[in-house]
Structure 1
Amino acid sequence: MGMITGAGVHGLMMLGGGIFRYPNDLFKPFWKYPLYYNSFHKYAYQGLFKNEFEKLTFSIDEAGGPTNISGKEILKNKLQMEMGYSKWVDVAILLGMVVLYRLLFLGFIKTVEKIKPIVTTFMSAPPKQTTQVMVNPSTAPLVRL
């Protein structure tokens, strides 16, 4: 069950993390606001792309002649990444998520350890009380002729 749940959460994080669609194209109520900002893929990809493209300059040939475009412009305009903070903030957010999720799952495990015996005692049926009728074996049964 843990493997299935982990794979499902990972799949949701991939879908909402901006891998398959740009962030502005995500459906707002579910995919953008809770899932996109909680997805660890978002911060991993933003940190990776900022590390690779932020300092680069690309030349493009247009009708007016060759011009240059910076990596920041590509990240901000084309890939729709948040450029208000550095790649190290993305790394810090990822490390914070690791610590938070570890503590969260530790809390789940400890809660289940405490509650499981209580639930099993309430869910188990009380022992049935049986009544036994003792027949005196020394007396013979009444026989009619």
Structure 2
Amino acid sequence: MKIFGRERLNGHYGVAAFVVGNTFSSIPYLLMISLIPGALAYYLVGLQKSFEHFTYFALVLFVCMMLVESLMMIVASIVPDFLMGIITGAGIQGVMMLNGGFFRLPDDLPKPFWKYPMYYIAFHKYANQGFYKNEFEGLTFPNNQAGGPLTITGEDILKSVWQVEMGYSKWVDLAILFGMVIVYRLMFLGIIKTSEKVAPIIKALLVVAPKHSEQFTDNPST
């Protein structure tokens, strides 16, 4: 952000060019991070081995990293200090993780604030549910409950155990995540644009205010 501030003052490029360039320049590296470690983790733990399932897994990893990067860019554009920026960004992500439906099931979340709206704002909700659907849909498991059927489907587990919203497919969860990336980047663009216009006004006020106070103290009759 400091480099961008200097280059922007020198007139090398505009805010929109910076946001677009920052977005596309990180995509190849995020794809590599999603595919290589993702492939190691995915097949080691014995998840579904079809190419479609792995592709979905890697895409969710990729879009989640884009979301985290976009969130940290928003924080960096607001918080000038590096350490405070890391603390703020980690705090925001921690709150989202706690309300994503994994540590506490959706029905167990307190409804004011934690479920409405934090549960629906947190991108972890859509990532978790997409992962669950990707793994459990289409499978059948032995049923341990007495008095029930011998087997239970993955869809039943998603509904009864994980409380996953089954009204839409896993690809809708992925599309929501990509939509959140666009929203985050637009927020980043808007914050930089706003700060670019507001910061000079604030600095001017900070410079003018002490001068007025000095004039008032030098001339008490006024």
Give the TM-score band, short-chain normalised: 0.7 to 0.9
Q: Which runs of 5+ in 2 are unaligned?
A: 1-83
Report whether the alignment pairs 1:42 with 2:133. no
Q: What is the distance in 1 between the residues matched to 2:139 and 2:183? A: 34
Bigger proportion of residues as helix: 2
Mark the structure with the bigger radius of gyration. 1
Q: Give the 5 Å matches for 1:95-110.
A: 95-110=178-193
SS of alignment partner, residue 113 of structure 2: helix
* C-alpha distance after superposition, 1:4-60 (max 9, x if no partner): 211011001001111211000000001101100111000001001100001100122
In the TM superposition, residue 65 of structure 1 has moved relative to its aligned partner by 8.5
| Sequence identity (%) | 62
Structure 1 segment 70-85 matched on structure 2, within 5 A: 70-85=153-168
What TM-score, normalized by structure 2, do the two folds share? 0.55
Letter in structure 2 aligned against 1:2? G
Counterpart for residue 15 of structure 1: 98
- RMSD (Å) for aligned C-alpha atoms: 2.0
**1:21-60 equivalence runs, <5 A:** 21-60=104-143
Regions of 4+ moved over 2 Å:
60-66, 125-130
Higher RCO, Cα 8 Å, sep 6+: 2
Q: Which structure 1 segments of 5+ residues have no match?
A: 131-145
TM score, norm. by length of structure 1: 0.83
Q: What is the alpha-carbon distance in structure 2 between the residues aligned to residue 65 and residue 23 of structure 1?
A: 25
Q: How does 1:93-132 map to 2 (within 5 A)?
A: 93-124=176-207, 125-126=210-211
How many residues are aligned here? 131
